[in-house]
Amino acid sequence: MVVRKSDPVSRTPEVAIIGGGIIGCAAAAFLAERGASVTIFEQTAVGAGASGRNLGAIQHPFDPVLAELYPSSLDHYHRLADACDAFAVADAPAGLLLLNADAGAVRRQVEHFRQAAPELEPAFLSPEDVAEVEPALSGGFAACRLATGYPVPPDAATAAYATLALRRGAALRLGVSAAPWVEGDRARGVTLGDGSRVEADAVLVAAGPWTPAVVDPSGDWQPIHRTWGVTVQLRLPRPLRHVLEEDEVDSVNRPAVATARAAASTDPEPPSLFSIASAGDISTLGSTFLPIAPDPAPIAGLLRHRAQRFLPSIGDADVVQVRVCARPQSVDGRPFIGPVAGVDALFVCAGHGPWGISTGPASAELVVGTILGEARIPAELRADRAVQTAQALADTGPAGMAS
C-alpha cells in the first residue's frame, strides 16, 4: 500500500523523519516552524535511545569543530524553555569540575584550556577549594573548573522538542520502524515495517547509532558505531552544584581510544569513567563505553562502587533507575550531517557520540537548512566526507568527554 501525498510537490515540502531522538524531534520542530509538513517515524518511543537516557549535561565540547555547535544549541534550548513549560534550563552554567588527585596535572590542564578555550574561564581549584564548593566530595581531589555544564533531566529536551513539533503540526508515529524508500537515485518516501509505503519529498534519517544500517543496508557505509553506556539515577542526600567528571584526558577525550580499549577488554569489570550531574533531586551517574550491550545490573553496581571513591554518600543513596543505551559514536568523533551522496532527497544527521544533547539542536538546524535548500554544511561535518578509520584516529582523534 502506498499512502499518497494529497498535494503536488511544489508546495511546502513533506518530510519524513526516521528516529525520535533529540535530532529527529528538534529537526521536526524546526521544519514544522518553517511550514513543512513533517512526520516522525519512531520504532519505539520518543527518547527511547540515548536521547532519553544520557547524563543530562549540556556542555561545551572540547573538539573545536563541535564546540561551534554548542552556543547555538544553548540558544535553542533557551528558546525551547520559553516555548515549553515542561522544559527549563538555567541562564548560567553550573560549572564543570574535572577532578584529579594529581594537582600538577590539573594545573597543566587549566593552562591548556586557557590557551584552547579561554571562554570557558578555566580555574584551578585546590582540594580545599573543591571541599568548599562540593562538600560531598572525598578530600584530596583538585579540579579544573570550566564555565560550562547545564544539567537537565536526561529526557527533557527531547520530550520538549517532540511536544513543540506536535504543537506546530508535525505528526508522530510511534512503534513504527521505517527505512528510506529509494527508487533509482531518489528517495520517494519511507517503507514501514509492515511493508507499506509513505511518500515524502525528503527523508531525514536521524536514527542515532542505527543510522548506517537504515541508510545503507548493504553495510558499505559504516562510520557510526554503538558504544553502550550504563547510567544509574540516584537520590543523593544533597544534589550536586556542579557537573563532575573524573579527569582522564589521555583516554577518554579520544572516543576512538575509549571504544578500542573497551572492545579489547576481556575484563568482567570493564573500564568506566566517573561522571555525574544533578537535575532537581535526581542525580545521574555514568558511565561505560562498551562495544556490545551489557547486562546493566552488575555494571550499575560497579559504577556505584567506583564512584564512592569520589562521592562516599553514593553507597547509601537510593537508586531510582538503572539505564543502558548506545551512543552513536562516529569514527572521527564528529556527526554526519546533510545530503547522502548518490541519493537525491535523502538526508542524514547522526553520529554525535557523547555530545548529542549539547550539540543536537544546532545540528538539526543545519540539516533542516539543507533540506530547505538554504544552508551549507561545514566540510568537517558533511555526511559525504571521507572518514578516517578508528585506527588512524586513535592517536590524533578529536576530544570527547566522560559521559
Ligand X SMILES: Cc1cc2nc3c(=O)[nH]c(=O)nc-3n(C[C@H](O)[C@H](O)[C@H](O)COP(=O)(O)OP(=O)(O)OC[C@H]3O[C@@H](n4cnc5c(N)ncnc54)[C@H](O)[C@@H]3O)c2cc1C
What residues line the site for ligand X (CB under 6 A)?
18-24, 41-44, 48-51, 54-57, 59, 177-179, 206-210, 214, 229, 231, 286-287, 325, 327-328, 350, 352-358, 360, 403
| Contact between residue 257 and residue 244 where contact means Cβ atoms under 8 Å apart | no
If 0-12 CB within 10 Å is exposed, 13-18 middle and 19+ buried, where does residue 397 land?
buried
Residue 30 or 41 with smaller CB distance to ligand X:
41
Minimum Å gap between C-beta 104 and ligand X is 28
Residue 84 or 299 with smaller CB distance to ligand X:
299
β-partners of residue 224 are 330
Residue 19 or 333 with smaller CB distance to ligand X:
19
Residue 35 or 298 with smaller CB distance to ligand X:
298
Other Cβ atoms closer than 10 A to 179: 18
Residue 76 or 327 with smaller CB distance to ligand X:
327
Round to whole Å and give the CA distance between 116 and 149: 18
Minimum Å gap between C-beta 242 and ligand X is 13
Minimum Å gap between C-beta 11 and ligand X is 26
Minimum Å gap between C-beta 18 and ligand X is 5
Among candidates 58, 275, 274, 256, which has minimal Cα distance to 160? 58
Report which secondary-structure segment, H or E, holds 180.
Answer: strand 178-183
Minimum Å gap between C-beta 159 and ligand X is 12
Minimum Å gap between C-beta 344 and ligand X is 20
Minimum Å gap between C-beta 184 and ligand X is 22
Minimum Å gap between C-beta 73 and ligand X is 9
Report which secondary-structure segment, H or E, holds 285.
Answer: strand 282-288
Residue 127 or 214 with smaller CB distance to ligand X:
214
Among candidates 245, 272, 49, which has minimal Cα distance to 151? 245
Report which secondary-structure segment, H or E, holds 133.
Answer: helix 127-133
Residue 18 or 166 with smaller CB distance to ligand X:
18
CA torsion, points 312, 318, 320, 325, in degrees to nearest 10? Answer: 30
DSSP characters for 220-242?
----EEEEEEEEEEEE-SS--SS
Work out whether strand 282-288 and strand 224-235 pair parallel, antiparallel, or are unpaired: antiparallel
Minimum Å gap between C-beta 190 and ligand X is 8
Residue 127 or 284 with smaller CB distance to ligand X:
284
Work out whether strand 318-330 and strand 123-125 pair parallel, antiparallel, or are unpaired: unpaired
C-alpha cell at 326: 548506545
Among candidates 324, 326, 282, which has minimal Cα distance to 303? 324
Minimum Å gap between C-beta 364 and ligand X is 9
Round to whole Å and give the CA distance between 70 and 60: 6
Residue 15 or 357 with smaller CB distance to ligand X:
357
Angle at 18 (CA atoms; ends 12, 21), nearest 5 degrees: 110
Residue 49 or 127 with smaller CB distance to ligand X:
49
Work out whether strand 243-246 and strand 96-100 pair parallel, antiparallel, or are unpaired: parallel
